[in-house]
């Protein structure tokens, strides 16, 4: 119970921080300018942005199915696709919890062992991390002058980073890692005498089966292609919204790459949907390209709402309802089959 209360407090605190940052950013926004922007914006490009988001989600669903195939499972693409939006929807409420949610719903609708799904998600996240690092290096190398200018204008960000990476903090981190290793050894020795050992061993095996699924995949290059395609779709989601808004319509795809990268850094904060930090990073980055601060704030609000917030709430909510309904029908069928089975 204490753990639940602590987590609830933590997520509420992060959400409050995000809302506070959001309020500080938009407390003095000219509502007439915002209304004018909403009237004059080209909604065709908003629609195109949403379509790019759907393509990215579909690609993620196909890529996830590719990891499950070597394990002997072939879930319905519709269920996998909707579980991706469940991931986005839950992350808007509880950061980082979406991965568990999508594994939970798919394990119930398609009878794939939960721990194997977690293993495949681990592979996915590792692939995404590697791709993010590669793209970040490429974008940084292509735009080093602009990115350097951003940090020159905001030295407090580098100061915070330098303040974190200290000898004391590194020693403290090493002590924690050593402590965790000894704790893991102690728990392992205790479990050797526990009846839970066989159950945990089975879960461990399923988890590593999920991780090893990529080794048995027949189309590894297709997996890499999907990973690259997903990031391209995410980049285009933002770029086409540039085209919808007059103050940003002349910005290039290269400018969009930098804005995408800086916004992505803000999403590392454990705040639901990046609300607040994402808006700050985006409008400050746009100011480097001559976009007035107020126009940059309006763009950030429109972009975040149109390409993230509303689609994730609408599609995620609908997907969750449908998957819960399917789970209920599957459960009812199982109960009916048990009742119809004659007793020996």
**Cα(107)–Cα(203) distance, rounded to whole angstroms?**
14
Return the half-sphere exposure (C-beta side, CA atoms, 13 A cut-off) of residue 34.
Answer: 11
Q: Could you list the pLDDT tens digit for every one of the 344 residues in the chain?
A: 566 666 666 777 777 888 888 888 888 888 898 899 999 999 999 999 999 999 999 999 999 999 888 888 899 999 999 999 999 999 888 877 888 999 999 999 888 888 888 888 888 888 888 888 888 888 888 777 766 766 666 665 555 545 545 566 566 666 766 766 666 666 556 655 555 455 545 555 555 555 666 666 677 889 889 999 999 999 999 999 999 999 999 999 988 998 998 888 888 777 777 888 899 989 988 988 889 999 999 999 999 999 888 999 999 999 999 998 888 777 766 666 565 655 54
The domain locations on the chain are 14-329
List of long-range contacts for 96-100, beta carbons under 8 Å, 24+ apart: 96/270, 99/125
Contact status, residue 298 vs residue 286, Cβ threshold 8 Å: no
Distances (CA, A) of 288 to 22, 139, 153, 295, 315: 21, 16, 10, 13, 34
DSSP-assigned letter for residue 29: -
pTM exceeds cut of 0.85? no
**Cα(327)–Cα(331) distance, rounded to whole angstroms?**
6
Contact status, residue 293 vs residue 287, Cβ threshold 8 Å: yes
All residues at 6 or more sequence positions from 248 whose CB lies less than 8 Å from its CB, including other chains:
241, 242, 286, 291, 295, 299
């Amino acid at each position: 119970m204490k753990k639940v209360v602590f987590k609830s407090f933590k997520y509420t605190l992060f959400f409050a921080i995000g809302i506070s940052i959001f309020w500080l950013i938009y407390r003095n926004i000219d509502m007439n300018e915002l209304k004018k922007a909403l009237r004059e914006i080209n909604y065709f490009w908003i629609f195109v942005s949403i379509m790019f988001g759907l393509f990215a989600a579909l690609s993620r669903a196909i890529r996830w199915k590719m990891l499950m195939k070597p394990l002997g499972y072939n879930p319905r693409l519709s269920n996998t696709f909707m579980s991706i939006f469940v991931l986005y929807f839950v992350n808007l409420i509880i950061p980082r919890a979406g991965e568990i949610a999508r594994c939970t719903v798919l394990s119930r609708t398609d009878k794939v062992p939960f721990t194997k799904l977690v293993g495949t998600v681990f592979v996915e996240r590792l692939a995404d991390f590697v791709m993010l690092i590669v793209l970040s290096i490429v974008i940084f190398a292509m735009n080093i002058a602009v990115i350097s200018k951003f940090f020159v204008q905001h030295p407090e960000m580098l100061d915070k980073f330098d303040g974190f990476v200290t000898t004391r903090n590194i020693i403290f981190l090493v002590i924690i890692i050593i402590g965790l290793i000894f704790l893991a050894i102690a728990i392992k020795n205790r479990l050797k005498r526990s009846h839970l050992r066989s159950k945990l061993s089975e879960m461990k095996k399923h988890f590593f089966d999920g991780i090893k699924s990529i080794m048995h995949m027949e189309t590894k290059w297709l997996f890499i292609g999907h990973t690259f395609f997903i990031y391209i779709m995410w980049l285009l989601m933002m770029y086409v919204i540039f085209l919808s808004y007059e103050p940003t319509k002349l910005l290039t795809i290269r400018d969009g790459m930098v804005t995408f990268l800086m916004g992505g850094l803000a999403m590392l904060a454990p705040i639901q949907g990046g609300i607040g930090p994402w808006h700050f990073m985006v409008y400050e980055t746009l100011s480097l390209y001559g976009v007035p601060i107020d126009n940059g704030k309006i763009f950030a609000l429109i972009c975040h709402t149109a390409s993230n917030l509303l689609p994730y709430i609408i599609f995620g909510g609908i997907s969750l309802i449908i998957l819960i309904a399917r789970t209920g029908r599957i459960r009812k069928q199982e109960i009916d089959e048990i009742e119809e089975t004659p007793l020996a």
